[in-house]
Amino acid sequence: PRQHSQQGSEVRIGVCNPTALAGKATEIREMNCQIVLASETSLTMARRPVFNREASRYGFACVHGEPVPPQCSYEDGSHSSRGLSTGASVLSTLPSRPGLGTLPSGIVSSCRLTEAYCRIGALEVRIICIYGVPSCHQGAAAANNLLMGAVYALATASAMPTFIGGDFNCGPESLDIWELFLARGFVNVVPWARSQGFEVAPTCKGRTNNDTLLVPHYMLSAITRVEVINDAGLFDSHDPLRVHMKLPHEVPCVRRWRIPESFANLGTSREDLAVAFLQEAAGNQHSPTPRNSAQAADTDQDFADALRRWSLQVECAVHRALLSKQAVGQDPSRCRGLPRRYKGRCREATI
């Protein structure tokens, strides 16, 4: 096995409000963080792929929340490229994946919450990015309590270490629901850092620290530095927060069991599959059907063989249905049928 330093490796988590993320991949890179929680991204569905390509050049993978609606629509049916002032994204150069999609629909459509999972060495953590409702909006406190209620449900769904950050647009401690987070051991990193002697400047217009990170109490001992990046002028009105942590970095052995993907993702109808299956069965009418073979099986191996023949017949039927669907309106030589990642059911799998 590879040897790693006993001191662990430094991980930097950044929190920023770029006031529109499009075209700012370079600024994200200059934050010099492996994980970035970005609020008020204003990324519409049209702008997302462009930004993702820009970010990928610097090694960032992006997990975005619901696409932000465009600021305006025109009479010709087109839309503005910039979205409304909302949106939340998690960007990471570490292995990451989106959340499980368990948020209520009302929270999802607000475009103010994103959940992701990142792996730091052997440790997998949950990252929740939030963009709070500005205080100038009517009912902002109630809306932010509702948002934080959804965050609380995510953060307490399992015992996984969870980091919650973004532009809260208020002090998290000012919300009624803060007592629940406090009882669960979450700590606002900015006042904690100041109590430890770190100099943490305001992040927004030299006045507030609403761009902050909530950290589980048992992770505080891993923090080595907390700072505000206010000398680079990266974003218009918000200076990013950066938290340095020293965490163990023992890379786990990864062994994957390849499992075929679901046919449900292929978009073929039940009727087309039924016709294709009957055609496939008709082509094998001189061989015993899988059902007859299974009923006549004397041993476990006979039954397993019958199950494998049945699964192969199903895959061939799906392949046939896809070929028929793909052949409509295009050159048959370009039709590929069932991709390899959908094959392999009822067969002995290697790890």
Nearest-CA neighbor of 89 among 60, 123, 124?
60
Residue 351 reports pLDDT greater than 50: yes
Find the DSSP H helices in the chain.
25-30, 48-56, 105-109, 140-155, 178-183, 189-195, 270-283, 290-295, 300-326
Residue 333 reports pLDDT greater than 70: no
Coil, strand or helix at 236:
coil
Nearest-CA neighbor of 324 among 335, 312, 311?
335
CA distances (Å), 327 to each of 277, 283, 331, in order?
Answer: 18, 21, 7
Burial 160-196, CB ≥16 within 10 A → b, else e = ebbbbbbbbbbebeebebbeebeeeebbbbbebbeee
Indicate the residue type of 334.
R
Give the pTM: 0.70
Residue 153 reports pLDDT greater than 80: yes
pLDDT class of 82 with cuts at 50, 70, 90? confident
Tens digits of residue pLDDT in 18-36 = 999 999 999 999 999 999 9
Determine the pLDDT at residue 2: 31
Coil, strand or helix at 95:
coil
- Which residue in this structure is represented by tokens 């609380």? 152
Residue 5 reports pLDDT greater than 50: no
Q: How far apart (Å, rounded) are the C-alpha atoms in residues 102 and 96? A: 18
- What number of other Cβ atoms are within 10 A of residue 260's Cβ? 17
